[in-house]
Structure formats: structure tokens, C-alpha cells
Amino acid sequence: MSPSPLERARAFLQARRIAFVGASRNERDFSRGVLKELVRRGYDVVPVHPEAEEIEGRRAFPRVGAVEPPVEAALIMTPPARTDDAVRDCLDAGIRHVWLHRGGGRGSATPEAVARCRAAGVEPVTDLCPFMALPGAAWPHRLHGFLRRLSSGRARGSAQRPGG
């Protein structure tokens, strides 16, 4: 049996140096809150943005392959139209732990990006926001994660039943 998304997320969070692909230059953007929380928890987060030199006081890089020293993992919070290129960059850089963010909307995961990861032997984290997996997250994030797991469990169960 393969690990659940939450188990993959917890394994991802064992990395200490993480590329944050799609960190926004807009300080009010949700991605900035995620970045700040990861930094607060002791992660060495490296913003990746093609047009930024610095985000949250941290040096930004135009792509994952340019990050020095290299990172162990990559959290991708790009619009879906940019995700496949971001995944390609991560895989080309040798990243083996990829998280395709999903919060309240569609998220970053696309069928093409997931297939690209899997073809490279990488099982990405999907269908979760880091706030849902971080220990001690505020109750709204834990509730959101619980509801997401509950609904995905029902979807898997109904897909496995004949006529379901």
C-alpha cells in the first residue's frame, strides 16, 4: 500500500532546506504566510521566482537549478499553467521530494506535472497545503486537512465499489 498524501507530506517536511517555487512578491499573498510559517519553524526556505531578487529578506533564485547550495525538496505554489515547467526544473536539479500545493482551490497539481514526477520515480505530495500537515497547526487548517482526507477517502472507496 502506498503512503497517504499526509504521510508523504510528513516525509517531505523532514527536509530542512526547501525551495519555495512560486513565492509571491506580493506580501499579502497566501504564499507569503506559508513561507513565513516554514521559516518560523526552522526550515531553510529558498524563494524561487523568475523576477525577484529577494522575498521576505531571503535571496530569491530564478529557478531551482540555480539555487546554491542545493535544496533537498521543492514546494510548488505556481498557477497550474506554470507547474509543469516548475516540475521539470526541479527534476532536472535532482529534487526527489516535490509538493504540489493545494489549498482551497484547484492548486498547482496538473495531470501532466504529476505524470512527469511519477515517470521520474517521484511520488509528489498533492491535495494538501503545508498548514494541513505541520504539527500544531491552527484548528482551521487541521479541520480543512481532516475534511480533505475524509472526502478523498470516500472518493477512493466509491471508485473501488462496483457501480460506485
Q: Is the pLDDT of residue 158 over 50?
A: no
Q: Is the pLDDT of residue 68 over 80?
A: yes
Q: Give me the domains of the chain, ranges plus CATH numbers.
A: 5-160 (3.40.50.720)
d(Cα 38, Cα 17) in Å, to the nearest integer? 10
The pLDDT of 92-98, averaged and rounded, is: 97
Report strand pairing: 58-59 vs 54-55: antiparallel
Q: Could you tell me if 14 and 42 are in contact, meaning their C-beta atoms sit under 8 angstroms apart?
A: no
What pLDDT score does 37 carry? 93
pLDDT tens string 5-44 = 888 999 999 999 999 999 999 999 989 999 999 999 999 9
What pLDDT score does 42 carry? 95
84 φ/ψ angles, rounded to the nearest 5 degrees: -60, -40
Give the number of other CB atoms < 10 A from CB of residue 29. 14
The C-alpha cell at 131 is 498548514
DSSP three-state, residue 138: coil
pLDDT tens string 99-150 = 999 866 678 999 999 999 999 999 999 988 888 888 765 434 444 444 444 4
Task: Quote the longest CA-to-CA distance of the chain.
Answer: 54
What pLDDT score does 134 carry? 84
Band the pLDDT of 156: cuts 50, 70, 90.
very low
Report strand pairing: 98-100 vs 58-59: unpaired
Question: Which single residue is written with the C-alpha cell 525551495?
Answer: 19
What pLDDT score does 148 carry? 46
pTM exceeds cut of 0.85: no
